[in-house]
Structure 1
C-alpha cells in the first residue's frame, strides 16, 4: 500500500512488484504523472498498471490507456469484477514474463550456435587444407592420366569446400534478406559436368551414373560458387534417393531470359514430404538427414533471381532449378 504517487515509485523501484492498482486523484503527484514515471523507468516499465478512479470521462480513460496502463476501472468498482480483472492481468503478465525468458534463451542459443559454427569452420579448414596440399603434391608428381584427373578433381573439391566454409554465414544473410548476389556470366554446363563427375565418384559404391549432355549455349547469370553449392546439394539428394545402379538424367532447357536445369531421378518423394519438400528441417527416413538440402537449394536459387520446383510421379522425381541467363 502506498499513500502517494512518490511512495508508489519508491516501492516499485525497491521491491519486485507484479501489478499496480493506481488511483488518479492523489495529492502532489496524481496517478497519470505516477504512471508516466513508472513507464519511463526501465526498472518499472514492465509492471502492468490498472487505473482505478472515479473519473470516468472518455478523455480520462483514453488518457490513462495511452500512458501504458493495461486497464481502467471506474469507481465504484464491483470487488468480484475487479478481482477477476486483476487475476487476468496477473496471468497475462506471467505469460509475458515466460515469453521474455524463452526469447532470451533463444537469443542465447542462437549466439551459442554461431559460436559453434565459427569453431567448426575453423576446425574444418585444417583437414581440408591438408587434402588440398596433398592433391597438389600428387599433381606435381608423375601420375597416369586417370589418376591425375582424380587428383585434379580432389584439388577443385577442396578449394570449393574452403570457399563454402568461408561463406556459410551467407545463408543466414539470405534468410534475413540481407544477401546481395553479385551476378556474373559463367558456363553452367562446365559447372554441371564437374559436379556430376564428383557426385559419381562419391557414389561409386552404389553405381550411380549421371547422364548429362550439355547443350550449345549454357551461359548463366549468377554466382558460380553459389551454383556449385546448389547443384552439389541437388545431385547428392538425387543420388541418395535413387536405387543402386540407377541413372540420373540432367537436362538444360533455355527459357526467356533464363535456363531451366531439370534433374530426373528414379524414386518418388513420400506423400508426407511432398507439400513440405522445400521446408526447412523437413526430412523423412534419411539417416543423418537434417532437412536443409532442398531448403538451401531454393534459397540459393531465389537470391540469384531464380527458383526451384519439384514434381514427383510415375516412379520418378524431377527437380527443376531456374536461373537467369544472359
Structure 2
C-alpha cells in the first residue's frame, strides 16, 4: 500500500529590488502628493519630522535618495543633513531639497551641505520625476561599479590563495621528490635505463620547482613598476630536453618522436623567459602525443 503525505512548503519571498525613496515633510498633503508620484516605480517611505528621518537614514536599510523639506519644526532640513553627514551609513545618501525658500543664501547653504539639487514649491510633478529618475540612475550605476569592484577584489584574493597553494603546498612535495630521486641516483646498483628515467624525472621536477618559484616572485612584484624585458631563449637545447622527456609517454602508444635540429643554435627573442617557453613547448608536445593515432609519427623540425 502506497501512502502519500502532504509536505508543507515555505513560500518564496521575493525581495523588492527597487530603489528606495525617503520623503520628509511636516505637511501630510505634501507627503501624499510626492509619495504618490513615485509609489509605482520605487519603494517609498515617509517621515513627518527630522528625528524620524534621521532614524531611518541611519538604520541598516538607509534609503537610496532623500527628498527633504527645509522648513520643519524641531529639526529643520539643514540640521538633519548635518547629522547625516557625520554618520557612516548616511553620509553618502544623495539629497534633493524640496522647499519654498528661493533666496540664494539658502540654496548656497544647501549645496555646501552636499545637496545634489533643489526643487521649488509648489512642485512641478514632471520636473521632480525627471530629477529623481536621473539621480537614481546615477545611484544604480554607482552600485554596479561597487559590485564590480567587490568582484575584482574577490578574484584578487582567490588568485592570491591559488598562488600561495602553488608556492607552499606544491613546492614541499616537489622538494621531497627531488631529494628522493637524487638519493636513488647516488646508488650505484641502478641499471642504465633506470638512471636515464630518474635523470629525466629529476630534470622535470626541478623545472616545475623553478616555475613555481618564478610564479611566486611575479605575484610579489609591484605590477605598477614591473617592466617586461626581451630575453633570448635557446630553443634547440630546450627542445632536445623536452623530446627526451616526451618520448617516455609516446612509447606507450607506439608513436615515434623525431627532432630534426640540423640548423645552427636557433634563438628566439620574446617578452618571455626560458622557463615559460619550456612550459609552453612541453604542453604542446603533450597535446601532440594525446592526439596522435597509434602507429603515426610526430616530427619536429627547427
Counterpart of 2:167 in structure 1 is: 121
Cα separation, partners in 2 of 1:186 and 1:168, compared to 1, 3 Å = closer
The answer for unaligned runs of 5 or more in structure 1 is 253-326
2:258 maps to which residue? 211
SS of residue in 1 equivalent to 2:245 = helix
Bigger radius of gyration among the two: 2
Contact 1:182 1:223 in 2 (8 A): no
Deviation readout 1:269-314 (Å, 9 max, x if unpaired): xxxxxxxxxxxxxxxxxxxxxxxxxxxxxxxxxxxxxxxxxxxxxx
The answer (yes or no) to whether the contact 1:181–1:223 under 8 Å persists in 2 is no
Q: Show the counterpart of 1:17.
A: 62
Where do 5+ consecutive residues of structure 2 fail to align? 1-45
Distance in 2 between the 1:193 and 1:251 partners? 12
- Is the CA contact 2:253–2:295 (under 8 Å) kept in the aligned structure 1? yes
Is 2:217 the partner of 1:167? no
1:83–1:17: structure 2 CA closer, same or farther, 3 Å change rule?
A: farther
Query: CA–CA distance in 1 between the matches of 2:294 and 2:92?
Result: 61
For the residue of structure 2 that corresponds to 1:217, the secondary structure is coil
Structure 1 distance, partners of 2:258, 2:224, is 35
Helix, strand or coil at the partner of 1:167: helix
* 2:294 is the alignment partner of 1:247: no
Question: Counterparts of 2:257 and 2:82 in 1: how far apart (Å)?
Answer: 70
**In the alignment, what sits opposite 2:176?**
130
Identify the structure with the greater strand proportion: 1
- What SS is found at the alignment partner of 2:170? helix
Superposed CA RMSD in Å reads 4.7
Query: TM-score scaled to structure 2, two decimals?
Result: 0.59
| TM-superposition CA deviations, 1:62-82 (whole Å, max 9, x none) | 998898655554543234663
Q: Does 1:198 align with 2:211?
A: no
What SS does the aligned partner of 1:212 have? strand
Report if aligned partners of 1:170, 1:179 keep a CA contact under 8 Å in 2. no
Q: Give the structure-1-normalised TM-score.
A: 0.55
